[in-house]
């Protein structure tokens, strides 16, 4: 009985360790630069998203279908974290962030993130990735770099792809403009 338990426990610990390492890769990257004066950081908590939804709800006109859609969408956003730097080598930082994600992916064989979009030219790189669970998007991740700027945006929630498209169309949430533009390309 003990040998069977240990035999089952080993693979389970590897899987759980892989999931933890993927998530901590983003957190590790974020915390590496969060105190660097060249960077701005933004964290919008779930509570703030609730407050924004309440504000929208109290200022909307009854029967306003668009306001109702926005309220429903904002309620699905559980938090946003942004790290943005100017006057930095954003292309090197882009490579560093993607390498960190890819290292964790190859080390644990299966990535939690699936690439949605990859746009690259000589002077800029942009990637959108999603993390799905049970057919729902739990995180939208944007990594963007140019010769002089870098941005990392992580939006947590419970979305469908239609929700993300609507957020890109109807809101000014960070990263959604780029998502909408890339989605049309």
Query: Among 56-70, 90-104, 149-163, whose mean pLDDT is lowest?
Result: 56-70
Cβ neighbors of 136 (< 8 A, separation 6 or more) are: 158, 159, 160
Question: Is 174 contained in some domain?
Answer: yes
Residue 179, CA atoms < 13 Å, CB-side half-sphere = 28
Q: Are 173 and 155 in contact (CB under 8 A)?
A: yes
pLDDT at site 63: 66
Q: Quick: pLDDT tens for 26-46.
A: 788 888 998 999 999 998 888
Count of domains forming the chain: 1
pTM: 0.75
Longest Cα pair distance anywhere in the chain, in angstroms?
64
Q: Note whether residue 24 is domain-resident.
A: yes
In this structure, is residue 61 part of a structural domain? Answer: no
Query: What domain range includes position 154?
Result: 15-45+78-184
| Domain-embedded: residue 103 | yes
pLDDT tens column, 94-135: 999 998 887 655 544 456 788 988 999 999 999 999 999 999
C-alpha distances out from residue 182 to 165, 172, 179, Å: 11, 15, 5
Residue 10 lies in a domain: no
* Contacts of residue 27, Cβ cutoff 8 Å, sequence gap at least 6: none
Q: Which residues contact 57 (CB under 8 A, 6 or more apart)?
A: 67, 71
User: How many CB atoms within 10 Å of residue 7?
Assistant: 9
In whole angstroms, give the CA distance from residue 46 to residue 157.
9
* Distance, C-alpha 157 to centroid of its chain: 9
Rg (CA), the chain: 19
Q: To the nearest whole number, what is the mean pLDDT of the chain? A: 78
pLDDT at 52 over 60: yes
Q: What is the CATH number of the domain that holds 109?
A: 3.40.1000
Residue ranges of alpha helices (H) inside the chain are 2-33, 46-59, 65-76, 90-107, 161-170, 176-184
User: 159 and 140 in contact (C-beta within 8 Å)?
Assistant: yes
């Amino acid at each position: 009985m003990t040998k069977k338990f240990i035999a089952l426990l080993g693979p389970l610990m590897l899987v759980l360790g892989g999931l933890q390492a993927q998530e901590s890769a983003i957190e590790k990257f974020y915390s590496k630069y969060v105190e660097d004066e060249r960077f701005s950081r933004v964290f919008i908590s779930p509570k703030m998203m609730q407050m924004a939804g309440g504000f929208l709800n109290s200022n909307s006109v009854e029967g306003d279908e668009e306001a109702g859609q926005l309220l429903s969408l904002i309620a699905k956003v559980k938090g946003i974290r942004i790290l943005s730097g100017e006057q930095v080598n954003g292309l090197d930082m882009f490579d560093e962030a993607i390498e960190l994600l890819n290292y964790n992916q190859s080390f644990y064989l299966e990535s939690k993130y699936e690439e949605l979009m990859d746009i690259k030219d000589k002077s800029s790189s942009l990637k959108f990735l999603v993390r799905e669970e049970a057919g729902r998007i739990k995180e939208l991740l944007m990594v963007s770099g140019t010769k002089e700027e870098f941005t990392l945006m992580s939006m947590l929630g419970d979305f469908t792809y239609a929700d993300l498209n609507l957020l890109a169309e109807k809101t000014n949430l960070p990263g959604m403009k780029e998502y909408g533009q890339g989605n049309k390309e």
